[in-house]
Amino acid sequence: MSQGKPSFQAIDKTLSGVRILSVALNLPGPATLMRLANMGAKCSKLEPLPPLGSAKGTSSDPMGLYAPHAYKQLHADVKVVQADLKTDKGQAQLHKLLAQSDVLLTSFRPSALKKLGLAWEDLHTQFPTLNMVSIVGSSGAGAEIPGHDLTYLASNDLVSKLNLPASLFADMAGSLQASEAVLKVLWQRAKPGRSQGKGVFNEVALEDAAAFLALPRHWGLTAPKGYVGGAHAGYQVYACANGRVAVAALEPHFAVKLLEVAGLVSAHRDPMLLPATKTRLAAFFAGLTRKQLTALAQQHDLPLVSLPNA
């Protein structure tokens, strides 16, 4: 498996001819837009004007300020325009873009959308065929409560001790659900029936996305006594001679092969649940380098990946 720079090239042309307009900032909205562009949609994004005196090409999206490399990748296939929606000129520019769009993507709180003239009830009257996907923090009344990825993960017991999560899981899961919502509203608008051709509204809550990610924990799968939470000796991260190794020999045939390669024999019905097995595997991996482990995985068809020291 490649551990290099991730690539997000266009994967298909499913949404070829579909026009998406986004006013969503930060990460969930742009990540959604990137996925939609990868599916062939024609994507545009309307950003606020940057502060006076800013250099040419400056983005007013916070992502463009604190992570310009990420912003660049997110918007590689997106046409970015800037306008002040609090002015008549900005509203005129917005309405021109809306009239040319199939889907509007937002990530503001409902009260902010109302102030900007982007409330669904108003848009649906002015642009009856326009679909709208609104990304919010929490659903219902909770949409007005401020929050970010960290708070949504925390509310679903996905934050460990004082450690920050390894990625922005709620934001990225939310972008996947928002991409799905775009496909959903387009399908609903095209579906034969009384409402055929009329725009559809769909709301995506980042806290709900985090709750979906948390289901394995809720089920106990990742609890300390769960098979993928530490109880199974074949599903662990072990130290090796010059780093670490992530082992996922969970299925019986992988577990048997791992024990065989490690030279471990046991008459126990499920030796992978024995603490002694974990201890003996730890000793086995400690004597091997990352290079040796990679060769071992290829030779014996084992699901493991070597890692540098933390």
Return the closest-CA partner of residue 168 out of 236, 70, 77: 70
Percent of the chain with pLDDT strictly greater than 70 = 96
pLDDT tens readout for residues 125-170 = 999 999 999 999 999 889 999 999 999 999 999 999 999 999 999 9
Cα 216 to Cα 31, 117, 230, distances in angstroms: 24, 40, 14
Copy the structure tokens of residue 218: 């809720």
Gap between the Cα atoms of 235 and 251, Å rounded: 10
Gap between the Cα atoms of 93 and 51, Å rounded: 19
Paired strand residues for 152 = none
Neighbours of 105 (CB within 10 A): 28
Helix axes 275-286, 252-262, angle to 10 degrees: 60
Neighbours of 40 (CB within 10 A): 17
Copy the structure tokens of residue 125: 């009257």
The full set of domains in the chain, from first to last, is 19-218 (3.40.50.10540), 227-307 (3.30.1540.10)
Q: Are 37 and 44 in contact (CB under 8 A)?
A: no
pLDDT tens readout for residues 44-70 = 999 999 888 788 878 999 999 899 999
Copy the structure tokens of residue 284: 């086995």
Q: Which residues contact 214 (CB under 8 A, 6 or more apart)?
A: 156, 157, 158
**Cα 118 versus chain centre, distance:** 25
pLDDT of amino acid 1: 40
- pLDDT confidence of 7, banded at 50, 70, 90? low
Neighbours of 25 (CB within 10 A): 20
pLDDT of amino acid 222: 94
Name the phi and psi angles at 279, rounded to 5: -65, -45
The predicted model scores a pTM of: 0.90
